[in-house]
Amino acid sequence: MSDQNPLVPYLYLLPHAIFFLVFTVYPIALGVWISVHRWDPLADTQPYVGSEFYRNLFLDTPQRDFFWRTLVNTLLFTVISVPLLVITALSLAQLLYRPVLFRAMFRSIFFMPGILSVSVMGILWKWLFDNQSGLVNVILQMMGRPTIPFLTTDGWAWVPVTLGTVWWTIGFNMTLYLAAMGNIPASLYEAAELDGAGGWHKFRYITLPLLQSTTLFVVVTTVLASLQLFGQTQVITGGGPARATQSVIQYITEEAFGNNQFSSATAMSFVFGAIMLIFTAIQFRTMARDAGGPR
C-alpha cells in the first residue's frame, strides 16, 4: 500500500485501537450494564434492577456498612502513610543530593525494596511482626518489654502495613525528588551562600519552593497509590482483625469473588472510582503541565 493512501495512519493505529476498544472502552460500558442488572455467572437471566445496587450503599444494608467502613479504613491508611512517604522521601533525597561516599550505592539500596512484588514484601513484613516470634517482638523481649500481638490487635495492625509500605515504596518518591533537585541551578545556592545562608535556610527558601510542583505530583500519586491499598493488607493482616484493616478494594473484590455479587461490587467500584477520579484529575493536570512546559 502506498504511503499516499489516506488509510495508512489508521493501519498503524489499528492494533492499539482494537485492544483499547475491547479492554478499556467495552469494560466500562459493560460495567455500567452489570451494575444496573443482577449479574450472576450461574444464572440464565440477568434481570434489570436499575439503581438498586447504588442505593444499597446508602440504605440500611451490610453493603453500606462494609463499604463505608472499609473506605474509612482506606482513608485512614492514606492519611497516615502519605505524610510519611512524602516527608521521609524528601529527607532521604536531601541526604543524598550532594556528593557523599557510596552515594550511588545508597540510592540503590533505598530504591531496592520497591521492585519486590507486594506479596513478597507482605509475607516478609508479616514475619517481621509475627505475634510471637517476629523479629520486632523478639527485640522487644530482649529489651525486657512485653510483646505486642501486632497482627491481631486493632490499631497495632496498621503498624506493619504502614511501615512495610514506607519501606517498599519510599524509593520511588526519593528518586523523583532527586531528579527534581538535580534541576535546581547550583548558582542559586552559591548566591545564597554569599549572602551567608546556612543549610536550613537554603533548604527552606530555595529547595522547598522550587520543589513545589514535584511535591504536588508526589503527593497526588502517593494518595492515589494509597487509596488503591490492597496487597499489603491482603497479605499481612488478611484485612483483620475483624475487618479493621480491610481496604475498600479488598472489600469490593470480596463482594465480587467471595460472595459472587458482581453487580453490587461493580456499583461499589464505580462509586469508589468516582472518588478517585478527583485525585486522578489533579495528577493528570500536573503531568500534562510537566510534559508541556519548560521547567
Partner 1 sequence: MTDLDLPAASARLAPQPTAPRRRVPRDIPRFVALVVLALLFLAPLYWMISTSFKPESDTIASPVQWIPARPTLENYREILTSPDGNILRWAWNSLFSSLAYTAAHLFVSVLAAYAFARMKFPGRDFWFWTVLSSMMVPGIVTLIPTYVMMIQFNWIDTYHALIWPGISGAFGVFLLRQFFLGIPRELEEAARLDGANSFQVLTNVILPLSVPVLVTLAVFAFMGSWNNYVWPLFVVHGDMQTLPVGITSFSSRYTTDYGKLMAGTAIAAVPVLVAYLLAQRYLQEGIAVTGLKE
Which of 250, 282, 284, 283 shows the shortest CA–CA distance to 269? 250
58 binds partner 1 (CB under 8 A): no
Measured CA to CA, the distance from residue 245 to residue 160 in angstroms comes to 11
Q: Which three cell numbers stand for residue 247?
A: 481496604
Q: DSSP letters along 138-167, please?
A: HHHHHTTPPP--GGGSTTTTHHHHHHHHHH
Which of 172, 150, 152, 176 shows the shortest CA–CA distance to 163? 150
Among 72, 79, 116, 208, binds partner 1 (CB under 8 A): 116
Measured CA to CA, the distance from residue 150 to residue 154 in angstroms comes to 8
260 binds partner 1 (CB under 8 A): no
* Residues of this chain, 5-44, that bind partner 1 according to CB under 8 A: 6, 8-10, 12-13, 15-17, 19-20, 23-28, 30-31, 34, 39, 41
Q: Which is nearer to partner 1, 208 or 287 (CB)?
A: 287
Binding map of partner 1 across residues 135-154, x = CB under 8 A, - = no contact: x--xx-xx------------
Among 51, 62, 72, 190, binds partner 1 (CB under 8 A): 190
Supply the minimum distance, in Å, between the C-beta of residue 238 and partner 1.
Answer: 9
Q: Which is nearer to partner 1, 62 or 198 (CB)?
A: 198
SS3 for 37? strand
262 binds partner 1 (CB under 8 A): yes
Q: How many residues bind partner 1 (CB under 8 A)?
A: 109
128 binds partner 1 (CB under 8 A): yes
Q: Is the separation of the CB atoms in 37 and 256 below 8 Å?
A: no
b/e map of 46-66 (b: 16 or more CB within 10 Å)? Answer: beebeebbbebbeeeeebeeb
182 binds partner 1 (CB under 8 A): yes
Inter-axis angle of helices 212-227 and 62-97, to 10 degrees?
Answer: 140
- Which window, 53-61, 62-70, 93-101, 203-211, contacts partner 1 (CB under 8 A)? 93-101
b/e map of 247-271 (b: 16 or more CB within 10 Å)? Answer: bbbbbbebbbeeeebbbbbbbbbbb
203 binds partner 1 (CB under 8 A): no
Among 68, 127, 156, 203, binds partner 1 (CB under 8 A): 127
Measured CA to CA, the distance from residue 106 to residue 175 in angstroms comes to 12
Q: Which is nearer to partner 1, 79 or 179 (CB)?
A: 179
Supply the minimum distance, in Å, between the C-beta of residue 104 and partner 1.
Answer: 9
* Residues of this chain, 263-292, that bind partner 1 according to CB under 8 A: 265-266, 269-270, 272-273, 276-277, 280-281, 284, 287-292
* Residues of this chain, 94-113, that bind partner 1 according to CB under 8 A: 95-102, 105-113
47 binds partner 1 (CB under 8 A): no
